[in-house]
Amino acid sequence: MRSLHLEKKGLHGLAIAESFRQNSQKSVFSGIVMHRDFIIDGFVFGSATLEGDDATDTILKMYADLQRPDISYVLISGLIVSMYNIINIKKLYDSLKIPIIGISYNDSFGIEAALKHHFPNSFESKISAYLKLGKRKKITLSTSHNIFVRKEGCTLGDVKHLLNELTLHGSVPEPIRVSQLLAKTLLLK
């Protein structure tokens, strides 16, 4: 298992968030490259199909488009995006060979029933993709807010340390907050 190399001063991460409209067929993905000291030095954009299965490939393309070998980890706001487009965190890790962290903000009892409802003829593949994500781990941040994480390629201790450094207040790490703002702004255009 790879470390996040938290001892490095110039640690760069790619933070990805998405936004969409209910009546649309595509969502907007935005990614920002941010240093641990909150300096932004890169942007990348993509899109995924609502209710589709292409979000993982969208993230891989976004990473490739950046052409940035200095990125040390990928931080994703949610692994179930764009109306049940499930991101394969293991595929991302196996392809990129850097730690992948998916975060969410609310506890959940699972989405199997919702998948059966929304995909009556093809729910088995969606449920299989969802179950491959594994269980989320709860982390209480130094801000006293709870978040839930899934991770590949790093320890839970490293994830907690990194997220505490990146979260100035509340529960949303700063790189994700900026990426969410950017995705929402692009959606309005």
User: Considering only CA atoms, which of 179, 185, 177, 175 is closest in space to residue 39?
Assistant: 175
- Interval 51-62 mean pLDDT: 97
Domain encompassing residue 96? 12-188
* Residue 123 pLDDT level (bands cut at 50, 70, 90): confident
* Residue 72 pLDDT level (bands cut at 50, 70, 90): very high
Q: What CATH number is attached to the domain comprising 106?
A: 3.30.2170.10
Element (H, E) at 30: strand 26-35
Q: Is 80 exceeded by the pLDDT of residue 7?
A: no
* Residue 116 pLDDT level (bands cut at 50, 70, 90): confident
Q: Is residue 6 part of a domain?
A: no
Per-residue model confidence (pLDDT) at position 112? 86
Q: Is residue 150 part of a domain?
A: yes
Q: Is 80 exceeded by the pLDDT of residue 83?
A: yes
Domain count of the fold of the chain:
1
Q: Is residue 1 part of a domain?
A: no
CA 91 – CA 88 distance, rounded (Å): 5
Q: Is residue 20 part of a domain?
A: yes
CA 66 – CA 98 distance, rounded (Å): 15
CA 117 – CA 123 distance, rounded (Å): 8
CA 138 – CA 123 distance, rounded (Å): 27
Tracing tokens 């067929």 back to the chain, one arrives at 25
Q: Is residue 4 part of a domain?
A: no
Q: Is residue 5 part of a domain?
A: no
Q: Is residue 2 part of a domain?
A: no
